[in-house]
Amino acid sequence: MTHATEPTHRLVSTQAGRIHLVEQGSGPLVLLVHGFPESWYSWRHQLPALAAAGYRAVAIDVRGYGRSSKPAAPEAYRLTELVEDNVSVVRALGEESAVVVGHDWGSPIASTSGLLRPEVFRAVGMLSVPYTPRGGPRPTELFAHMGGGEDEFYISYFQEPGRAEAEIEPDVRGWLAAFYRALSAGTMPGPGDPAPYLVSPGSTLRDRCPDGPPPAWLGEAELDFYAGEFERTGLTGALNRYRNMDRDWTDLAAHDGAPLTQPSLFAGGALDVTMTWLADAVKAFPVTLPGLVSSHLLDDCGHWIQQERPEETNRLLIDWLAELPA
């Protein structure tokens, strides 16, 4: 074991400007990529644990978030651009290669990084969102059919510029608390309750999120941090990720159905609705992830796996990392 150093904040240059990162520890590089609506801070429990286990753990603010650059053009948030940000971070840190781990949107960012730049990303960990190769219908066509009757699927709702911003930005803190609550074990809606990922005509996404106390993992200090970040930056950079799904589908046409061959890990929460939507993707792992080392579903866990169950997530990551070729 190496002694875990204190976390250090840095800004590194990329083709779009800068990426803010927080690093802790020394050893093989592990790049941590967050999802929506989060931040480097969502890896606060993993940074010291990975550092103590002998790794150089680096959590970034994805382009559009926190102190990282926020290009104005919506198309600047396509996956191919975010992959190059990850490559730039590895190079700026003086490294040749890294293990990349992503949660939520960070998972496809991580897997696409491994797919497009296998010489840089030698292993890929995915949390909450399983690897799903490019294929099938154009995403906007697919999501148009995922509503319930007149209801609209949340991804379609997020894809219209300005629409979700108008809902969220008047009360960022309240909206985040409701969104986190809706996807957390112990506070998510029960069977028969309105689905929090659908938007009824004339209403908002938050209208379907449950009221009540925050989930156990989300204290006042944590919520204050997230709210402060998005009150400062706004939500457009984060939401622009959703607005590039058709561009990603076009950009990755040459990789249709392509497997991810590096050593990989998947872990999700058994109560996460994503596991229902993407159950077929998990079943396809023997074909799509031929290098899969381990796959885990944590009982009584929702979507925010590394924050809801930090100790178990840390153990899974460290055990997997220990099995990787040097």
* Residues classed as catalytic: 104, 303
Interatomic CA distance for residues 23 and 4, integer angstroms: 11
Q: Tell me, what DSSP letter sits at residue 5?
A: P
Count CB-CB contacts under 10 A for residue 145: 9
List the structure tokens of 144: 């148009």
Q: Tell me, what DSSP letter sits at residue 277?
A: H
- Altogether, the residues listed in the chain come to a count of 326
Rg (CA), the chain: 18
Contact indicator for 65, 241 with CB cutoff of 8 Å: no
Buried b (16+ CB within 10 A) or exposed e, 290-312: eebbebbebeebbbbbbbbbbee
β-pair type (121-127, 292-298): unpaired
